[in-house]
Amino acid sequence: MKTSSGPATRRIVDLTHPLATGMPVYPGTESPEIAAAFTVAEHGFLEHRLTLVTHTGTHLDVPAHMLADGRTLDSYPAGHFVGEAFVIDVSGAPGGAIARDLLTPYRDVLARCDFALLHTGWSRRWGLAAYFEGFPVLDPDAARWLAGLDLRGVGVDAVSVDPAGAAAFPVHEVLLGRELVIVENLTNLGGLVGREFTLCCLPLKITGADGAPVRAVAILAGE
């Protein structure tokens, strides 16, 4: 991007946990395996074989993840995954429940955004057993309020928008039912609280998929 006065300045903040063998995964999910399939020494080139489920690491969910006949990943245009975002600090949510009244003060700013990102503070527990326990989640009323806005997606720096190990997934069902995407396992949101920026969370274009890992980044202009 350039202007008549010279190149525009921008800062890129990586919001993505690295994919690696043995990395944290949702309880009950298989850990990914990343291994060399070809090597320079033996074949003259290096390639790796990836074995992982679609919801590994920093990833997004689409309706097919939870809803029978739900919209699949490849049906979304690439532009759906790039848009304006705003980070709300919900790390102090009482009892771990993110209520609607924590979100409504940001109605006006969210009205001009495509993504609402929720900073729970849980990413600092990445790699610990505590990452999967007690993280704040939206209550269903707050999820319905977000779903009623003109958003493309909701993102969190925790493993899920519903409690880990839950028997039901009401928040997923509300958001995905409105064809919003859900981005989970984000990181580095703390430094972006109260900021507006461009979010890019492009997934692999997998036919018929229910989700995919993403390389999520915040693009901050003028810095």
Residue 163's pLDDT is 93
DSSP run (H or E) holding 48? strand 47-51
Q: Are strands 2-3 and 211-213 parallel, antiparallel or unpaired?
A: unpaired
Residues of the chain with pLDDT under 70: 1-8
pLDDT at 4: 43
pLDDT tens-digit series, residues 76-115: 999 999 999 999 999 999 888 999 999 999 999 999 999 9
183's CB contacts (< 8 A; 6+ apart) are: 58, 59, 60, 115, 117, 153, 154, 155, 156, 201, 214, 216
Q: What is the pLDDT of residue 95?
A: 82
Can you spell out the DSSP letters for 154-184?
EEESSS-SS-TT-S--HHHHHHHHTT-EEEE
Q: What's residue 9's pLDDT?
A: 85
Which pLDDT tens digit goes with each residue over 183-203?
A: 999 999 999 999 999 999 999
pTM of the predicted protein model: 0.94
Q: What are the structural domains of the chain?
A: 11-17+54-221 (3.50.30.50)
Other Cβ atoms within 10 Å of 101 Cβ, number: 10
pLDDT of residue 80: 97
* Residue 6 CA, distance from chain mean position: 34
pLDDT the model gives residue 7 = 56
Q: Which two tokens stand for residue 26?
A: 């949702």
What is the predicted pLDDT for the residue at 3?
40
